[in-house]
Chains A and B, each alone.
Chain A
Amino acid sequence: MNNTKSPKVEVRGLHKYFGKNEVLKGIDCDIQTGEVVCVIGPSGSGKSTFLRCINCLEEPTQGTVLVDGNLMDDKAKNIDELREDVGMVFQHFNLFPHLSVMENLTIAPILRKKMQKEEAEKVGMDLLTRVGLADKADAMPNSLSGGQKQRVAIARALAMRPGLMLFDEPTSALDPEMVGEVLDVMRQLAKEGMTMVIVTHEMGFARQVSNRVLFIDQGVIAEAGTPAEVFDNPQNDRTKSFLAKVLNA
């Protein structure tokens, strides 16, 4: 199962309908361990839905998603366990507002990994130090800035020691001056070899950190390749017109 050759994520024939609306129209894609994949595309193209299917927040209408060879199925008995290995960072942070920053980081390790509180707090403190927020351990989420919230959210996901991290437009809800601090944390994470799938509108960042770029449009992967291939020499007309719009904005 954990053969080093087999991909971290295998997506096969993925279709997703919301009612009669077909959002994903057949997606096939592999993501290798250690790879950083950025997903770009116009809004409403299905990027986020694709990402949310990977940890089964959305259930595929058709097709399969395997993580480490395990089928991600909401009805599977071990789905909670499988999700422990897939960290997710949301556009709107989704920190737990009734828990302190430290409690946000420790609740899952304590409940799921049966970690002692002291141990979980030690891990939590290390992570907060890494994202530069060690002094905010006792703060409540609502007292933080957007950039700080998102860095806490990344640390919260990392506290479960996931093998894969999903980012759903992590900087889209931030004020411009806070985008950098979040991207820095993600850049560091990529450097350390984390497997990452990032839905983003930050084209400069995508070009810089990713091994591969997927351009999703109208529910299909319209183009895929290295950042240089996709950004500098796009083959698909839709990719060209999308890039022309976002890069010349």
Chain B
Amino acid sequence: MDFFELLKESLPMLMQGLMLTLQLSAVSLFFAMIIGIVASLMGMSKNIVLRGINRVLVAVVRGTPLLVQAFFIYFGITGLLNIRITAFLAGVIALSFNAGGYLSEIFRGGIQAVDPGQREAARSLGLSAAQTTWRIIIPQAIRICIPSVVNQWCITIKDTSIISVIGLAELTNAGDAIISRTYRSFEVWIMVGVLYFIVIWLLTKLARFVEKKVSLDEQH
């Protein structure tokens, strides 16, 4: 079987895996963004308890491997509570909290990077604290954050491959399955790698486009 025959034979299964990878990425990143926004607001709150929750989340996410987090959720918590959840759901929970923790730090950094003079100017015009935050600070913070957020998205999309170990038939898992049948490690891992690469490349292109579109450095 030459390379192209192997490709033809493997592609349906790889595409199925890719679809699952994309679904897992999209759902996880959706919740990760929400967790990240909420957690960053908690991290900047005056309330010491809310700040504490944020600190713990970030410390745990940073301090433990994603693989351990996924095992803990899929086997540890479910075992303790004596419930069963799908590998997909476990993957979503692990990736959402993992990426959410990192994103909260990115958002916090973005908001704090906005010139304090912006808040002063807005308040001196009579804008309330909330109006200042939503109309003046957040729009600028988003622009500052875009490159780091996209970077985190890329990392999380690739991290979905770790969820293969709890048996989810996403792209990496699909590649593994094909190899165990065909013993064509070299070619199949190239195919898997290229598929990840294309996804990330397209996302990066899109991000560059958006970044340029909202840039403040030149006249529109």
Assuming the contacts A97-B140, A97-B216, A142-B217, asked whether A112 and B127 have C-beta atoms less than 8 A apart, the reply is yes
Contact: B123 with A57, CB < 8 Å? yes
Contact: B217 with A80, CB < 8 Å? no
CB closest chain-B residue, reference A83: B126
Specify which of B124, B136, B216 is in contact with A140 (CB 8 Å cutoff): B216
Q: How far is the CA of A21 from the CA of B135 in the complex (A)?
A: 34
Contact: A112 with B139, CB < 8 Å? no
A248 interface residue, CB < 8 Å from B? no
Assuming the contacts A80-B127, A112-B125, asked whether A90 and B216 have C-beta atoms less than 8 A apart, the reply is no
Contact: B140 with A108, CB < 8 Å? no
B112 interface residue, CB < 8 Å from A? no
Contact: B118 with A88, CB < 8 Å? no
Contact: B216 with A94, CB < 8 Å? no
Interface 0/1 of A90-114, CB less than 8 Å to B: 1010111110000000011001100
Q: How far is the CA of A167 from the CA of B117 in the complex (A)?
A: 14
* B residues in contact with A55, CB < 8 Å: 124
Q: How far is the CA of A98 from the CA of B215 in the complex (A)?
A: 9
Query: How many A-B Cβ pairs are below 8 Å?
Result: 70
Assuming the contacts A140-B219, A142-B216, A142-B217, asked whether A96 and B118 have C-beta atoms less than 8 A apart, the reply is yes
Within B52-101, which residues are at the interface with A (CB < 8 Å)? none
* B residues in contact with A143, CB < 8 Å: 218-219
B115 interface residue, CB < 8 Å from A? yes
A154 interface residue, CB < 8 Å from B? no
Contact: B121 with A90, CB < 8 Å? yes
Instruction: Give chain B's interface secondary structure class.
Output: helix
Specify which of B117, B125, B135 is in contact with A92 (CB 8 Å cutoff): B117
Contact: B126 with A108, CB < 8 Å? yes
Assuming the contacts A94-B115, A96-B121, A111-B131, asked whether A140 and B220 have C-beta atoms less than 8 A apart, the reply is yes
B211 interface residue, CB < 8 Å from A? no
**Most chain A CB within a 10 A radius of its CB, from B124, B128, B139:** B124
Within A66-80, which residues are at the interface with B (CB < 8 Å)? 80
Within A146-172, which residues are at the interface with B (CB < 8 Å)? 153, 156-157, 160
Within A112-144, which residues are at the interface with B (CB < 8 Å)? 112, 139-140, 142-143
* A residues in contact with B117, CB < 8 Å: 90, 92, 94
CB closest chain-B residue, reference A112: B126
Interface 0/1 of A23-57, CB less than 8 Å to B: 00000000000000000000000000000000101
Q: How far is the CA of A156 from the CA of B126 in the complex (A)?
A: 12
Q: How far is the CA of A90 from the CA of B218 in the complex (A)?
A: 23
B9 interface residue, CB < 8 Å from A? no
Q: Which 10 A-B pairs have the closest CB atoms?
A: A84-B126, A94-B121, A108-B125, A88-B124, A94-B117, A143-B219, A83-B126, A97-B216, A112-B126, A98-B139
7 CB < 8 A contacts A-B: A57-B123, A83-B124, A88-B124, A94-B115, A94-B120, A97-B140, A156-B125
Given A88-B124, A94-B121, 15 more A-B residue pairs with CB atoms under 8 Å apart are A57-B123, A80-B126, A80-B128, A83-B124, A83-B126, A86-B124, A90-B121, A94-B115, A94-B117, A96-B122, A107-B135, A108-B126, A108-B127, A112-B126, A153-B121
Chain B interface residues (CB < 8 Å from chain A): 115, 117-118, 120-128, 131, 135-136, 139-140, 143, 216-220
